[in-house]
Structure 1
Amino acid sequence: MQSTFNKISAKRRSIYALGDQVTASPEEIFDLVKTTVRNSPSAFNSQTVRAVILFGEKSDRVWQIVEDTLKEIVKDPAAFEKTKAKIATFRAGYGTILYLTDTKIVHQLEEQFPSYADNFADWSEQAIGGAQQAVWTALAENNIGASLQHYNPLIDDAIHQAFNLPETWQLRAEMPFGSIESPASDKDYLDEQEVFKLIK
């Protein structure tokens, strides 16, 4: 079987060498992310995923928060310099997407459907994972590189304060994106016999 989707998905890699040489406007990228997230599935059509798309100084602010936070945690100067250099690669991009879960909806569903209450938090994680994968692939289709970072929950309070986000929006990941200044390295795969089973 032929799959254009799989060809595009193969382009979706973790790109760490990012630049700001993206021809698409912030509005075009915002529309791409918005449409992609809205078309991503969620259990009970709960639509718990929230996305904040930041550009310019606002995007830089995310990575300054990360740097400032880790400076207080990473006490070894040499180790912090490596951390700072890594953060600089994210700051060098064109923008940043914050992915969040609206916990208000999760708790409402837990109360509305008590038989499934233990599952809604997990299902919200599945929803945000699907949305991240879809956006990442849509960016790759447009030759925009990205990676997925997880500095939450260390930066949660500062991010909420910096961008005036609702308290019920729980930060789950940060996605820096931009022009691809250097391709991803080769990807290793587990032996397929360890991963897949065909049962007829």
Structure 2
Amino acid sequence: MSDFWNAVKTRRSIYAIGKDIPISEDQIEEIVKNAVLYSPSSFNSQSGRVVVLFNEQHDKLWDLTKETLRKVVPADSLGPTEEKMASFRSGRGTVLFFEDQAVIEGLQKQFALYADNFPVWAQQSNGLLQYVVWTALADEGVGASLQHYNPLIDDEVRKEWSVPETWKLIAQMPFGKIEAPAGNKEFAPIDSRMKVFK
């Protein structure tokens, strides 16, 4: 089996993460940079944007998220929520994924016939970008998961890291050392998910 398929199969949602990653922060930056450069996008729009947070900046994100959730989660449900935030915070960093709405709106004006499709295509492109980063991290032995605390944290994130107004937060990917592997994965029958006609 090729290295590609090994990487695809290795990528899982890893929730038990730590700070002592097996590669350098520079290597993480290189992974994310290459993903941004080489992930496909509709009409070559290149509308995906990322912010990479390490160390105390990463910790700050999950502290901010916890405080934001504290305002909306009932007090009797707060314990599990705080545990989840602590598990993400225990990692080494987080990749924040955005879509630049200015690029999407520009394409909608330029290609009015497809205007309704551009936001959908942008989400698909962002999913590809997320997947490339996630799989590349897994291939280097770094665990990650994909989270969605937007739009609850959008304003705080924009303020804290001077994110442009046109960047819409799509997802958060905390990453770190794999402290415990993912559990067994159940697969629905492939015959119900795939058809082949020859």
TM-score (norm 2): 0.98
| Equivalent pair of 2:22/2:141 in contact (CA under 8 Å) | no
Distance across 1 between alignment mates of 2:142 and 2:69: 27
* Aligned partner of residue 15 in structure 1, secondary structure: coil
* Aligned partner of residue 175 in structure 2, secondary structure: strand
User: What CA deviation, in whole Å up to 9, does each residue of 1:165-191 have, x standing for no partner?
Assistant: 000000000000000000000011111
Shift of 1:24: 2.2
Give runs of aligned pairs for residues 6-45 of structure 1, distance below 5 A.
Answer: 6-45=5-44
Identify the residue that residue 127 of structure 1 maps to in structure 2. 125
For the aligned residue pairs, the C-alpha RMSD in angstroms reads 0.9
Shift of 1:27: 2.0
Aligned length: 198
Deviating runs (4+, > 3 A) in structure 1?
none
* Aligned partner of residue 54 in structure 1, secondary structure: strand
Shift of 1:6: 1.5
* Aligned partner of residue 176 in structure 2, secondary structure: strand
Distance across 2 between alignment mates of 1:148 and 1:171: 13
User: What CA deviation, in whole Å up to 9, does each residue of 1:1-24 have, x standing for no partner?
Assistant: x44311111100000000011142
* Aligned partner of residue 172 in structure 1, secondary structure: strand
Distance verdict in 2 for CA 1:3–1:199, change over 3 Å: farther
* Aligned partner of residue 115 in structure 2, secondary structure: helix
Give runs of aligned pairs for residues 1-200 of structure 1, distance below 5 A.
Answer: 2-77=1-76, 79-200=77-198
Distance across 2 between alignment mates of 1:55 and 1:39: 23
* Structure 1: gaps spanning 5 or more residues: none
Amino acid at match of 2:117: N
* Structure 2: gaps spanning 5 or more residues: none
* Aligned partner of residue 137 in structure 1, secondary structure: helix
User: What CA deviation, in whole Å up to 9, does each residue of 1:146-168 have, x standing for no partner?
Assistant: 00000000000000001000000
| Equivalent pair of 2:18/2:177 in contact (CA under 8 Å) | yes
TM-score (norm 1): 0.97
Amino acid at match of 2:91: G
